Amino acid sequence: MYQLEYNPPYDWKWMFGFLAGRAVSGVEIVTDEYYCRSFALGKYQGLVTLEPDEKACQLKVTLSAGLEPVADEVLQKVKQLLDLDCQSHTILECLGDLATARPGLRLPGCMDTFELSVRAILGQLVSVAMAAKLASKLAQVFGEPLVDFPDWRLFPTPERLASLSPEQLKPLGMPLKRGAAIIHLAQQMVKGEFPLHTPVDVEQGVKMLISYPGIGRWTANYIALRGWQANDVFLPDDYLIKQRFPGITPTQIRRYAERWKPWRSYALLHIWYSEGWVPGT
């Protein structure tokens, strides 16, 4: 077992609830007490189990034997998933009153940027629950079973998805264009042309994603938020954001949000999940 430190406050109930609502059956299990998932890093694969110890401000991480040779890399992925290195006090100071209601919110990241990006595409124009269901079907049909835990499946690799045709994905319940978008993304990944880490110029990176077939502005920014864990992304034309800013144009919203630079991703999260918040002057 490994232990990762984090700085409080941390809203574990919210984080695990967020992950539970999007959990992929066969790949992830989320309860109030722990998060467990299958994971592969190169030829190494196994299960990762995460259990927070709030009194000690630590996260207990258990890796199955197959992942022990790459433990350091997996632990770094865990930090990215749960935003454990978050500069919470700096961010709270920047956000001010916006963060008062929920100071323990962290930005949910991911352990695999490619997987997150595929799941983001699956989530276009469908509910969160339906996106999770589609991802579960994708994993069941095209993912490999874990060697040591055959009841668990790995999320499909870029190589596997890149070899498919849109017609092969259609029976899972997705339009041909969405299937084509996933396949193109996988092919870019195989070529080494898909950025797995935060680009130096995030805005330019988002524009590149939008140039991919089947990826719109919202999805590209969502990939930047969770896949790259970019700190300073804001979505002024997001449906819920526009509801929080009634009668204000996206341009005005964007200008308003500049007060939260360089932590606008966290501002976005707080606005989404702080019921009743209204903009001040």
Query: Beta 28-30 vs 35-41: how paired, if at all?
Result: antiparallel
- Which 3 state secondary structure label does DSSP give 24? coil
Q: Which residue out of 85, 112, 151, 238 is catalytically annotated?
A: 238
Whether 237 is catalytic is no
Each residue's pLDDT tens digit in the chain (281 positions)? 999 999 999 999 999 999 999 999 999 999 999 999 999 999 999 999 999 999 999 999 999 999 999 999 999 999 999 999 998 999 999 999 999 999 999 999 999 999 999 999 999 989 999 999 999 999 999 999 999 999 999 999 999 999 999 999 999 999 999 999 999 999 999 999 998 888 899 999 999 999 999 999 999 999 999 999 999 999 998 999 999 999 999 999 999 999 999 999 999 999 999 888 889 86
Continuous H helices in 49-127:
71-82, 88-95, 113-122
Domains identified in the chain and CATH numbers: 2-99 (3.30.310.20)
Whole-prediction pTM value? 0.95
Residue 88 CA to residue 94 CA, distance in Å, equals 10
